[in-house]
């Protein structure tokens, strides 16, 4: 069974992420969407909230699971026997970060491949931060995120 990991902060998950997950799920027998820790980020949603949103947003895919790991993504991938780490590329500036990340991962385990999927053009402007900014400015975010994210924003900020 060919298993791949798709790691991220998912704060929150967007339709851009769903697009990558959907395409990865067709390439691999199993995809684990891994909630990982980016130490340079202060997240808006808690780990529990993000995990819950991920589970609801990905339940449409039969071969996609969700998990959390506080350590290095590549170590998690090795632990579960994954053959690849999936990353989405949107714009050229993503490449620099991915280059450094893949070099670090290769240093730890050369046998796990980094697989990059190009985000669809209409998704390239979406990021978790832009979703947050749009929401706070009163813009309807529902075309850009799964429904569960809209519901969570409403719960968190409009009580
Ligand atoms: N569509 C829409 N948005 C996307 C996207 C896509 N296809 N791909 C990325 N993004 C957005 C994300 O939402 C995120 O937005 P934000 O910065 O506004 O929050 C941004 O692009 C960056 O995403 P990403 O590069 O995936 O960063 P991340 O913080 O979500 O994830 C980790 C980074 C968690 C994968 C990485 O830090 C990690 O693996 N951490 C674990 C520890 C580790 O292994 N570190 C490496 C050691 S050298």
Active site (annotated) includes residue 90: yes
Q: Are 9 and 49 spatial neighbours (Cβ–Cβ below 8 Å)?
A: no
Going from the Cα of 116 to the center of ligand 1, the distance in angstroms, rounded, reads 13
Residue 47 reports pLDDT greater than 80: yes
Q: How far is the C-alpha of 137 from the C-alpha of 25, rounded, in Å?
A: 34
| DSSP state at residue 122 | G
Backbone angles phi, psi at 31, to 5 degrees: -120, 130
Average pLDDT (6-18) is 97
Average pLDDT (41-49) is 95
Q: How far is the C-alpha of 35 from the C-alpha of 67, rounded, in Å?
A: 6
Residue 43: how many other CB atoms lie within 10 Å: 16
* Residue nearest ligand 1's atom 39 by CA: 73
Residue 159 reports pLDDT greater than 70: no
Mapping DSSP onto H, E and C, the string for 54-102 reads HHHHHCCCCCEEEEECCCCHHHHHHHHCCCEEEEEECCHHHHHHHHHHH
Placement of tokens 């799920």 in the chain: 25
**pTM recorded for the entire structure:** 0.94
pLDDT in tens, 87-120: 998 888 778 888 888 999 999 999 999 999 988 8
The pLDDT score that the predictor gives to residue 157 is 84
Annotated active-site residue in 3, 9, 17, 26: 17
Q: Are 47 and 22 spatial neighbours (Cβ–Cβ below 8 Å)?
A: no
What distances in angstroms separate CA 115 from CA 27, 51, 63, 135, one per listed residue?
A: 11, 23, 18, 31
The answer to whether the peptide bond before residue 12 is cis (omega within 30 degrees of 0) is yes
* Residue nearest ligand 1's atom 3 by CA: 127
* Bridge partners, residue 4, by sequence: 31, 84
């Amino acid at each position: 069974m060919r298993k791949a990991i798709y790691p991220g902060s998912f704060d929150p998950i967007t339709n851009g992420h769903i697009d990558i997950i959907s395409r990865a799920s067709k390439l691999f027998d199993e995809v684990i969407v891994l909630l990982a820790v980016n130490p340079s980020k202060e997240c808006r949603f808690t780990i529990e909230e993000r995990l819950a949103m991920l589970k609801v947003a990905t339940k449409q895919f039969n071969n996609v699971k969700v998990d959390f790991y506080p350590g290095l993504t590549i170590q998690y991938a090795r632990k579960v026997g994954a053959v690849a780490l999936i990353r989405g590329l949107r714009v050229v500036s993503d490449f620099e970060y991915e280059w450094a990340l893949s070099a670090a991962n290769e240093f730890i385990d050369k046998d796990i491949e980094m697989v990059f999927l190009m985000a669809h053009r209409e998704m390239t402007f979406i990021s978790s931060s832009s979703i947050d900014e749009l929401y706070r400015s009163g813009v309807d975010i529902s075309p850009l995120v799964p429904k569960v994210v809209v519901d969570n924003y409403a719960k968190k900020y409009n009580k």
